[in-house]
Chains A and B, each alone.
Chain A
Amino acid sequence: MPAVSKGDGMRGLAVFISDIRNCKSKEAEIKRINKELANIRSKFKGDKALDGYSKKKYVCKLLFIFLLGHDIDFGHMEAVNLLSSNKYTEKQIGYLFISVLVNSNSELIRLINNGIKNDLASRNPTFMNLALHCIANVGSREMAEAFAGDIPKILVAGDTMDSVKQSAALCLLRLYRTSPDLVPMGEWTSRVVHLLNDQHLGVVTAATSLITTLAQKNPEEFKTSVSLAVSRLSRIVTSASTDLQDYTYYFVPAPWLSVKLLRLLQCYPPPEDAAVRGRLTECLETILNKAQEPPKSKKVQHSNAKNAVLFEAISLIIHHDSEPNLLVRACNQLGQFLQHRETNLRYLALESMCTLASSEFSHEAVKTHIETVIGALKTERDVSVRQRAVDLLYAMCDRSNAQQIVAEMLNYLETADYSIREEIVLKVAILAEKYAVDYTWYVDTILNLIRIAGDYVSEEVWYRVIQIVINREDVQGYAAKTVFEALQAPACHENLVKVGGYILGEFGNLIAGDRRSSPLIQFNLLHSKFHLCSVPTRALLLSTYIKFVNLFPEIKTTIQDVLRSDSQLRNADVELQQRAVEYLRLSCIASTDILATVLEEMPPFPERESSILAKLKKKKGPGMVSEIEETKKERNVEMNGSTEPATNASTVSTPSPSTDLLGIESTAVFNSVPLNSTGGSLLVDVFSENSAPVATLASAAEENFSSSSDLTSPDNNIDDPATAVHVSHDDDDDVDELSDTFVCKNNGVLFENQLLQIGLKSEFRQNLGRMYVFYGNKTSTQFLSFSSNVICQDGLKSQLNIQTKPVDPTVEGGAQVQQILNIECVSDFTEAPVLNIQFRYGGTLQNVSVKLPVTLNKFFQPTEMTSQDFFQRWKQLSNPQQEVQKIFKAKHPMDTEVTKAKIIGFGVALLDGVDPNPSNFVGAGVIHTKTIQVGCLLRLEPNTQAQMYRLTLRTSRDTVSQRLCGLLSEQF
């Protein structure tokens, strides 16, 4: 069927395309295009009315020019005209132009919608399909407004042609994706579900996609689709390869439909009905069995289609995570693929196994493939496959194989592609920390990391090694010795100098007894690197030197000589100069006692989530990583030598419990002296550019503690590691943090500035809630174009449904308007929705965004239970993922009554007489979401002496435990 004989050759178009192809240069092409554009413009503007054919041809040329990458700013009207042509081919080109070149011109949209409306009503299936395709391609909100009501009717009407049904289903799907609020569920939904039974497999294929998307957001309404999907699937997988005629693809019966059905089933937990469940298990077994059969064709299409279904089946098995037998079989199957000659299959097997590794049933089975995966790391030629292998090694790592995996990753790092080095560094650092039985191994691993890939070792990684060394007394001597040895290398990475400088400054005394590492040798070694380092590292080394003055009085004069040299005291860099001046002064005038106090060893850091983990999560996005992390968190706590509140209390006496990350807060180093003068929570780092506390100190020594610390220049803060890292924790750029005050109460003022006050009243019941938002105009002038809407970002969209009615666009001066939000919790969530308000005040547009205090705990129902029940359930929830514990410092006075009120306000029942220790608090409740209910137990142990709390949460879902713990721990 040669193309030229098809339909209407537009010769003019063909000639034009040939011309363009013959252009020798870009300039010639542009010239030719401009000539054509001028021609078309004059034709469109000309007096002579163009016939349909010409219009079509010119519109087609414009389309071609656009697809070449040029902008097109006219022709839209002519394209719209073509819609009303009764010639199919003209109509078709008109629709194509509109689909490709949507214009937001509202006037035009109205005309386009008019054309579509006519075609939809034409009852001519070919025209109807064109119109539906156009809606699906454009999918704009205006179209959703115009057609979202009609399309469901077309979809379920008895007399609609099959092909129109198919288009209608996917058209509706597109509209639902762009404007879910405009597609109301209704009586049609149950009829759509029954399309799964349709005789026409094309209709079933299209409908399954629609149902899957709808079911993700409205699982309850589409629940009946489960049994229909299972029986449809069962019929397909058991059919002979010829039964489905043209829907069989290279001997695989309906692979696309099978994949879609399996995907639909992943919206739901395993079927409750035993018969359905049994049938599904049979299907899955059949699919796994078929993988073992000899192929019916040598073509790659056959194996791809077959394996596409297999991988989707494995995804479903992993999703259900309930049939150990199937999980292990899936794992074995993937194990076979790991050695397959097709790169694609190896890639997918590695990827799929990552998720299997997090299931308790298959974790061990996955581990048996470790050698193959390590082999992949060494032999795969494609970096994307090696990347998958790294991911899988990371996922399958536990205490039993950590040493091997870390060693292999380090090994690989030597030759790894630059694009994935940083990620491997983070992963190695995390695994080494998590599974360190012996901290000398941990220290060695990190130093190796710096040696092999120093440039990719981010601040988080070396901060963390310092935190751990400081917190673990048993490793300090070893760390000092090891960094000392590593620094002997003639060329070492600057990061090593940083770590070395810091550790020797703290613990150099532990190795000073050895003649080979006497104080002077240590100092000379570090100072030999000094001149090769950047300013921040030099600043850090200067701090090490002043610490040496305290540790090793015998080399004080040597150090003073260095500080006194012109290259320091008159250094062009203000920061270095300042440190040199102040440290020199400090070393001269302070008594030994003062020096000892000021330069005391760092106290242990408060325990917190590894900052490296946060960085990796950010890098990879949420999902995989966090999932694996959750399961591992538990083990982490125990090994990290988590400091008990009691021991913490003595050392963290400085009032800055909220330090972020590095928290190498100078407040702690310069214990007590400068702190009181600067007050509150200083968040500066002694080794950063910001030398504020040092400055205060030096001047304080001279001026008798007059705290005139003008040196705290805010500019210095820019590169402060503590600040920089803080940003990585905080994903919301413009919106203020979620207010903690609403976690335990429902009413109050959410926001207030000079113009506007926003008040809240809310009530929650089970998984539903209603929030009354009051907007008060505090001025005497009208607010115009007032609008407010609620935005659920990304993942939250599927977890939380919030419906609002628009408010009146005008708010009179001094008046208050009310908006009602209806809230439905679909599944557990972490993020908070954002309330976005816009209005005009005195000609300028005002924009306010605040986080709405809709938090997971609002959907609590308190549960009373006896002590016996409580402990029985507590024990049942003993999986490591299910428990989250946090130890934190009290931010408010520790008042028993207030604490009780807060726990009740949080939503749980406060259980008296459960905990043997009467000063502890115990609570229980159930989180209601549309999809699941999650039972929650909590225990709060105050330690008044240490002014600390320990909070433990156990729930059946790790994400819920995490979130609730995060929310509640901010309350005390």
Chain B
Amino acid sequence: MQFMLLFSRQGKLRLQKWYVPLSDKEKKKITRELVQTVLARKPKMCSFLEWRDLKIVYKRYASLYFCCAIEDQDNELITLEIIHRYVELLDKYFGSVCELDIIFNFEKAYFILDEFLLGGEAQETSKKNVLKAIEQADLLQEVRMTCCEQWGEI
């Protein structure tokens, strides 16, 4: 996989993950073009399309589009299920995940993604194992949080 983008129906980018080195300018250009292309497609259309020399696999969940770019020999259907598994992970972690969860906890969305995919390849496909890793990390945080609670200032 070369990259994954999450964006809203309004075209706002919610998460971006790049597995190939690209300049910021290039990333912005790709994002713009792709968001436009995908949003223009009608609901019942096929989830795959050719774009430049890549294959785009996308799926919409409620107000969010999940969009992956894969290479020529990569498997479209399994990529579609990578998206679904990621959604399941977010859903389980946040409890009925919605777009707001991802906006306000974007860092968590990244951490979960890193446990699931690394270097653009599936690292751990067991839902239990991924969530276990994330929860262990959260546990590490909570222990320390109790002794240094800080609220308030911006």
Interface residues of A in 577-615 (CB under 8 A from B): none
Q: A6-B108, A202-B126, A312-B75 are in contact. Are A126 and B137 (CB under 8 A)?
A: yes
- Chain B residue with Cβ nearest A623: B72
Q: A16-B154, A39-B154 are in contact. Are A167 and B140 (CB under 8 A)?
A: no
State whether A3 touches B104 (Cβ < 8 A): yes
A36 CA to B153 CA in the complex, in Å? 12
State whether A11 touches B151 (Cβ < 8 A): yes
Among B85, B120, B121, B128, which residue has its beta carbon within 8 angstroms of that of A206?
Answer: B121
State whether B46 touches A206 (Cβ < 8 A): no
Residues of chain B lying within 8 A (CB to CB) of residue A384 = 45-46, 48-50
Residues of chain A lying within 8 A (CB to CB) of residue B92 = 1
Does A146 have its Cβ within 8 Å of any Cβ on chain B? no
Encoded as 1 (CB less than 8 Å from any A CB) or 0, chain B from 110 to 144 comes to 11001000111111111111000100111011101
Interface residues of A in 146-172 (CB under 8 A from B): 163, 166-167, 170-171
Q: A8-B145, A53-B150, A254-B125 are in contact. Are A64 and B136 (CB under 8 A)?
A: no
State whether B119 touches A255 (Cβ < 8 A): no
Does A249 have its Cβ within 8 Å of any Cβ on chain B? yes
- Chain A residue with Cβ nearest B94: A3
Does A381 have its Cβ within 8 Å of any Cβ on chain B? yes
State whether B75 touches A304 (Cβ < 8 A): no
State whether B122 touches A67 (Cβ < 8 A): no
Does A201 have its Cβ within 8 Å of any Cβ on chain B? yes
Residues of chain A lying within 8 A (CB to CB) of residue B129 = 163, 202, 246
Residues of chain A lying within 8 A (CB to CB) of residue B21 = 139-140, 178
Among B101, B114, B119, which residue has its beta carbon within 8 angstroms of that of A173?
Answer: B119
State whether B123 touches A304 (Cβ < 8 A): no
A6 CA to B138 CA in the complex, in Å? 7
A831 CA to B15 CA in the complex, in Å? 39
Residues of chain A lying within 8 A (CB to CB) of residue B47 = 343-344
Does B30 have its Cβ within 8 Å of any Cβ on chain A? no
A384 CA to B133 CA in the complex, in Å? 40
State whether A89 touches B141 (Cβ < 8 A): yes
Among B118, B128, B142, which residue has its beta carbon within 8 angstroms of that of A133?
Answer: B118
Among A2, A205, A343, which residue has its beta carbon within 8 angstroms of that of B123?
Answer: A205
State whether B94 touches A171 (Cβ < 8 A): no
Encoded as 1 (CB less than 8 Å from any B CB) or 0, chain A from 1 to 32 comes to 11100111001101111000100000000000
- Chain B residue with Cβ nearest A101: B24
Residues of chain A lying within 8 A (CB to CB) of residue B15 = 67
State whether B107 touches A344 (Cβ < 8 A): no
State whether B141 touches A3 (Cβ < 8 A): no
Residues of chain A lying within 8 A (CB to CB) of residue B140 = 88-89, 126
Residues of chain A lying within 8 A (CB to CB) of residue B19 = 174
State whether A137 touches B114 (Cβ < 8 A): yes
Residues of chain B lying within 8 A (CB to CB) of residue A385 = 46
CB distance from B30 to the nearest CB of A (A): 13
A173 CA to B108 CA in the complex, in Å? 24
State whether B125 touches A166 (Cβ < 8 A): no
State whether B154 touches A305 (Cβ < 8 A): no
Encoded as 1 (CB less than 8 Å from any B CB) or 0, chain A from 52 to 77 comes to 01000000100110010101000000
A635 CA to B16 CA in the complex, in Å? 49
Among B49, B78, B106, B111, which residue has its beta carbon within 8 angstroms of that of A255?
Answer: B78
- Chain A residue with Cβ nearest B121: A209
State whether B119 touches A305 (Cβ < 8 A): no
Does A259 have its Cβ within 8 Å of any Cβ on chain B? yes
Encoded as 1 (CB less than 8 Å from any B CB) or 0, chain A from 433 to 444 comes to 000000000000
- Chain B residue with Cβ nearest A303: B77
Residues of chain B lying within 8 A (CB to CB) of residue A301 = 81, 84
Does A621 have its Cβ within 8 Å of any Cβ on chain B? yes
Residues of chain B lying within 8 A (CB to CB) of residue A478 = none
Among B24, B77, B126, B136, which residue has its beta carbon within 8 angstroms of that of A307?
Answer: B77
State whether B104 touches A17 (Cβ < 8 A): yes
Residues of chain A lying within 8 A (CB to CB) of residue B28 = 69
State whether B123 touches A170 (Cβ < 8 A): yes
State whether A171 touches B75 (Cβ < 8 A): no
Does A502 have its Cβ within 8 Å of any Cβ on chain B? no
A259 CA to B121 CA in the complex, in Å? 12
State whether A53 touches B118 (Cβ < 8 A): no
Encoded as 1 (CB less than 8 Å from any A CB) or 0, chain B from 82 to 112 comes to 1011000000111100000101111110110
Does B62 have its Cβ within 8 Å of any Cβ on chain A? no
Among B24, B46, B124, which residue has its beta carbon within 8 angstroms of that of A205?
Answer: B124
State whether A205 touches B73 (Cβ < 8 A): no
Does B26 have its Cβ within 8 Å of any Cβ on chain A? no
Does A247 have its Cβ within 8 Å of any Cβ on chain B? yes
Encoded as 1 (CB less than 8 Å from any A CB) or 0, chain B from 54 to 78 comes to 0000000000000000001101111
State whether B78 touches A7 (Cβ < 8 A): no
State whether A171 touches B81 (Cβ < 8 A): no
Among A8, A60, A256, A315, which residue has its beta carbon within 8 angstroms of that of B125?
Answer: A256
Which A residues lie at the B interface, using CB under 8 A?
Answer: 1-3, 6-8, 11-12, 14-17, 21, 36, 39, 53, 60, 63-64, 67, 69, 71, 87-89, 92-93, 96, 99-100, 126, 129, 132-133, 136-137, 139-140, 163, 166-167, 170-171, 173-174, 177-178, 201-202, 205-206, 209, 245-247, 249, 254-257, 259-260, 263, 266, 301, 304-305, 307-309, 311-312, 315, 343-344, 346-348, 381-382, 384-385, 387, 621, 623
Query: 10 closest pairs, A vs B, by CB?
Result: A308-B77, A174-B119, A7-B141, A308-B78, A170-B118, A209-B121, A246-B126, A88-B140, A170-B119, A89-B141
Which B residues lie at the A interface, using CB under 8 A?
Answer: 13, 15-16, 19, 21, 24, 28, 42, 44-50, 53, 72-73, 75-78, 80-82, 84-85, 92-95, 101, 103-108, 110-111, 114, 118-129, 133, 136-138, 140-142, 144-145, 148, 150-154
Question: Can you list 20 A-B pairs, Cβ within 8 angstroms, ordered by A?
Answer: A2-B95, A6-B93, A7-B142, A17-B103, A39-B154, A67-B106, A88-B144, A89-B140, A126-B136, A136-B119, A137-B114, A174-B120, A202-B124, A256-B122, A305-B78, A308-B78, A308-B80, A311-B76, A344-B48, A382-B46
Task: Apart from A171-B119, A301-B84, list 17 A-B contacts with CB within 8 A.
Answer: A2-B94, A53-B148, A60-B107, A67-B13, A67-B16, A67-B106, A88-B144, A163-B124, A166-B124, A174-B120, A205-B124, A205-B125, A256-B125, A304-B77, A308-B75, A343-B46, A348-B76
